Structure 1
Amino acid sequence: MLLVEETAPAQASLPVAALRGHLRMGSGFELVEDATEDAALAGFLRAAIATVEARTGKVLLTRVFRMRLEDWRDPAGQPLPLAPALSVETVEMTDREGRVSEVPPALWRLVPDNQRPILAPTGSSLPTVPLGGFVTVRFAAGFGTSWDRVPGDLAQAVMMLAARYYEDRGFDGSQLALPHGVSALIERWRAVRTLAGRGGRA
């Protein structure tokens, strides 16, 4: 499976002011409000959001993703790797010669779920993926386009993690365990995710 993020959260949707206030309360240090400082805080927030999303499989701010599969994991219903899924934009088949054809929306539907949304067929099974080709599914996922739509515990986890990144510029969240407080906040959102197509062709 190949999963590509087609859009990124808008700068205006990031809670830069809230992070500045969080840092001020934690350290008593007055941060300078300028473009350079805001850009740095936005970078820490993006890193924290990416970490929380990777650990939970939940998309905090709505974006569009593109998933490519060599075959369906189950033609009776393909789980999507991220939640909450809001819509499926397109489903396209590409054959071994590179010819692309759109699968009519009448042949599939989105089954929403906060843990494991599914692209399901309207009939008995999803269309067959061409031998030597692949299927591409474009879908939108996320809690909303503004930060106030993000669940409170996930939002707090991002704030704590971004503050950690800010206070310890050498901290590498991809290599070290999450701080206990962050892990506790995101625990109920974590789910076992089914990502790829069938093992023989993924």
Structure 2
Amino acid sequence: MMLVELSSVPPAALAVAGFKDHLRLGSGFADDGLQDETLEGFLRAALAAIEARTGKVLLEREFRWTVTAWRDRDRQALPLAPVSAIAAMVQVDRHGTRIPVTASRYTLQPDQHRPAVVAFGTSLPSIPRGGHVEIDLLAGYGPDWSDLPADLAQAVLLLAAHFYEYRSDAALHGNSMPFSVTTLIERYRTVRLFMGGRS
């Protein structure tokens, strides 16, 4: 199984101005935008770290999930959340021939922690021998910063500020997150066993 990000978070969706306020950086100067690219990088790093820790996609974007075997024939948990749409499903044989699967054969079962694709009928489409199925997903809380739950938005700002503060001393942060960040994201973390099978 492989998950690929097909689109990225656009710069306009990142709260660079809010991050500046959070850091209490000066404003009204000719070089106000000088650090914008650097601040955007810290925001993206914080987003990625929190997404990895929680299994949640914060800002909306497209993904392609390649599946070589279904865990259950009638229902397959998806590897991330929240998922708002399944854009397409395609069977790919070992020669690379692509056969689109009609949307009437499956549906999305939304869930904030363990969304799933569920069969209409007895089973999900078969996976060709030596081939795979590709599922294109739209995942995330929404396209704009304002779509984020307040606690997750605050966690991103706090972690990005931590990265910014200790940007010259990597030894200070290692693999751990500040306690304030882990506290804010704790309720979003889920235990995933075998790709989040039946719960």
TM-score between both structures, scaled by the size of structure 1: 0.90
Shift of residue 104, structure 1, vs aligned partner: 0.8
Q: Which moved more, 1:171-180 or 1:136-145?
A: 171-180
Taking the aligned partners of 2:139 and 2:177, their CA distance within structure 1 comes to 24
1:1-202 counterparts in 2 under 5 A? 1-24=1-24, 29-30=25-26, 33-169=31-167, 170-171=169-170, 175-194=174-193, 196=195
Percent of matched pairs sharing the same residue: 44
Shift of residue 174, structure 1, vs aligned partner: 9.2
Shift of residue 126, structure 1, vs aligned partner: 0.4
Shift of residue 108, structure 1, vs aligned partner: 0.4
Runs of 4+ in 1 over 6 A off after TM superposition: none
Shift of residue 98, structure 1, vs aligned partner: 1.1
Taking the aligned partners of 1:51 and 1:165, their CA distance within structure 2 comes to 11
User: Runs of 5+ in structure 1 lacking a partner?
Assistant: none
Q: 1:84 to 1:171 in 2, by over 3 A?
A: same
Q: 1:36 to 1:4 in 2, by over 3 A?
A: farther
Q: 1:138 to 1:87 in 2, by over 3 A?
A: same
Taking the aligned partners of 2:126 and 2:172, their CA distance within structure 1 comes to 40
User: CA-to-partner distance for each residue in 1:136-190, whole Å, 9 max, x for gaps?
Assistant: 0000011111111100110010000000111111438995111111000000000
Q: 1:98 to 1:175 in 2, by over 3 A?
A: farther
User: Runs of 5+ in structure 2 lacking a partner?
Assistant: none
TM-score between both structures, scaled by the size of structure 2: 0.91
Q: 1:195 to 1:5 in 2, by over 3 A?
A: farther
Contact 1:57 1:193 in 2 (8 A): no
In the alignment, residue 88 of structure 1 is paired with which amino acid? I
Shift of residue 195, structure 1, vs aligned partner: 6.2
Contact 1:72 1:197 in 2 (8 A): no
CA RMSD of aligned residues (A): 2.1
